[in-house]
Amino acid sequence: MTSDQIDLALPVVQAFVARAQSSFVHGERVAHDDNTWFDSLDPATGQPLTQVNEAGAGVVDHAARSAQSAFDSVWGSMLPAERERLLHRLADLLEANATELAQFDALESGKPVASVEAIDVALAVEQFRYYAGWPTKLQGATIPVASPDSHVYTRREPLGVVAAITPWNFPLCQAAIKLAPALAAGNTVVLKPSELTSMSSLRLAELAMEAGFPPGVLNVVTGTGPVTGQALITHPLIHKISFTGSEAVGRHLAAEAGRALKHVSLELGGKNPHVVFADADVDKAAAYAATTAFFYTGQVCFAGSRLMVERSALDQVMATLEEHARGLVMGGGLSETATMGPLSSELQREKVERYLQNAQDSKAQIAFGGKRPGGDLAAGYFLEPTAVLEPADDDAVVAEEIFGPVVVVQPFDDVEELVSRANAGNFGLTAGVWTRDGAKAHSVAARLKAGTVWVNTYGDFNAAAPWGGFRASGLGRDCGPEGLDKYLQTKTVWMALS
């Protein structure tokens, strides 16, 4: 880690980063069953932050057995009011340690720390507070069956041990989105964060112990997908897999879950149409379009990465888009002035650059950006915010999720054309619509194939509102009552009265 970043970090963060990171099982850090270590890098400098140990099959087995033991002995039968109290206590501790948690994610992901604290940590706290209210409200039903001598009712029961696998772009927030409902429903969890961003999840597990969670209820295993993740999802004690990440990995997990008949929920990628009609408040729409395209360097599943603009408004939108991009300040996660961070890795930056080269080869225009900055930023994984103008619908830059600071801009001429083209891809996570015409707004929102459609806004999110995608964007929903249901199973009880 560079000296200026160290100087900006809290002493508690400096001390945490200085020690090597290993899995957290049954309330303590554990020695791994092999000697594989890898560096967690600061993407702003390419320099090591800390070392992380990779959990092999032995540590994963220890974590799964610890979770099963905690479920059998205490958590699965704990009074709902007590689970509620512990979830509220953990939310309080997250809020009290918000700056510390934000610095972990900012260092490892490169995202601006002020935004991480204001958005990511706040959303994590919201998740735990929302689901803390649910344990005392999980009810079955009495079923009026035809038989007069039977009393039939249902119970809503936890699944058991859940595997939660989270991505590097929202480490703490995504952990909370999975942990809060799983724990509220009475399950125990083995969490595997991305190998790029392990520290906030490990600190979260420590805070859970401080809150009073019994050992084994929340375990964290560190390591890569092919080693640690594979051992986790194939473990016989894991009853459900909850995953957020790429479509390719999601398909693999779904296949593994199918073979073992495990429950599975997937929140995958998106190539999200962000639609601006000429009758909208174009200035406001363009400002949102610019913000959502480059927010967190475009490394966001719901990024407004496919900007579809009614042709007569194109020049106005493009001017605002470029003005916003020119005003972004690139820098490291703990920089006090940076408003856009680096890409997550050198491999990710090279992938984005290949998309841009392919777009140019297909005769699309790079309207602005697309270059690596020099000077003090040259060692990091930075790339200028970029707009690709009028690529063809079948170009990879349009059809595939880039996950970088790249927005493709496509003009359209009428509603029918817009709907047909917007729905042509494989994804269906989110969409945005800007128009002053209420009838048009409702009509287009109904016809777009997306799990969330924002109208005259973009990017709003709340723990109470279901979140997830259609088609290749995933299976199941996070957040809201639906986010809880997937961690429960229904038991029907028949009692003979005669």
Mind giving me the DSSP string for 295-335? GGGG--TT---EEEEEGGGHHHHHHHHHHHHHH--B--TT-
pLDDT at 148: 86
The CATH 3.40.309.10 portion of the chain extends over 273-463
- Quick check: is 117 catalytic? no
Q: What is the pLDDT of residues 189-244, one digit of tens each?
A: 999 999 999 999 999 999 999 999 999 999 999 999 999 999 999 999 999 999 99
The closest alpha carbon to 340, from 375, 403, 291, belongs to 291
The CATH 3.40.605.10 portion of the chain extends over 3-268+473-492
Rounded distance, CA 125 to CA 130, Å? 9
Q: Is the pTM of this model over 0.75?
A: yes
Rounded distance, CA 362 to CA 308, Å? 19
pLDDT at 1: 40
CATH topology of domain 3-268+473-492: Aldehyde Dehydrogenase; Chain A, domain 1 (3.40.605)
CATH of domain 273-463: 3.40.309.10
pLDDT at 4: 62
pLDDT at 33: 62
- Quick check: is 301 catalytic? yes
Rg of the chain taking only CA atoms, in angstroms = 23
Rounded distance, CA 189 to CA 63, Å? 9
pLDDT at 34: 66
Non-local CB neighbours of 259 within 8 Å, separated by 6+ positions: none
- The dihedral over CA atoms of 200, 246, 426, 285, expressed in degrees to the nearest 10, equals 30
Among 84, 301, 310, 479, the active-site one is: 301
pLDDT at 3: 45
Q: What is the pLDDT along the chain (498 residues), one digit of tens a residue?
A: 444 677 789 999 999 999 999 999 999 999 776 678 999 999 999 999 999 999 999 999 999 999 999 999 999 999 999 999 999 999 999 999 999 999 999 999 999 999 999 999 999 999 999 999 999 999 999 999 998 899 999 999 999 999 999 999 999 999 999 999 999 999 999 999 999 999 999 999 999 999 999 999 999 999 999 999 999 999 999 999 999 999 999 999 999 999 999 999 999 999 999 999 999 999 999 999 999 999 999 999 999 999 999 999 999 999 999 999 999 999 999 998 999 999 999 999 999 999 999 999 988 999 999 999 999 999 999 999 999 999 999 999 999 999 999 999 999 999 999 999 999 989 999 999 999 999 999 999 999 999 999 999 999 999 999 999 999 999 999 999 999 999 999 999 999 998
Among 108, 126, 267, 310, the active-site one is: 267
